[in-house]
Amino acid sequence: MVYSLKDAVKDAIAQKDISGIYPVFMASRMYVAGKHMPDGMNLFLTTPPGRNSMCITASDYRAVMEKIPNIDIMEMDGSELFNHAGDDLEIMLYFDDGGYMLTRAQLDWFKKLDAQA
């Protein structure tokens, strides 16, 4: 049985423990909002409603990303996306029926887990 990122997020919310998201996220094939530019493909960053941060928009469902107008889709695995987030960005994960924001605090915690791996 394949454990999806959506299921990992759902379980994490129910258990109030995000640790189960980390391994699934890192191994997931992700489709990321980008823009073709003369110097190559760049991430398409947005400001989430009610937040003072910038985020990367991504999904492990290509069809979900294809519904977003005016973007190009980049493909990468979760670990690559994690590295693109660096120390500043958050990641908005979209699913076929909702979404989940990986906040800066959660990504910083993932960074600690990554260092231990």
Radius of gyration of the chain (CA): 14
- pTM, two decimals, is 0.91
For the chain, what are the domain ranges?
29-110
Give the whole-angstrom CA distance, residue 66 versus residue 73. Answer: 8
Name the average pLDDT for the chain.
91
- CA-based nearest residue to 96, from 74, 65, 69: 65
pLDDT attached to residue 2: 53
State yes or no: pLDDT of 114 exceeds 50: yes
- pLDDT tier, 115 (very low <50, low <70, confident <90, very high otherwise): confident
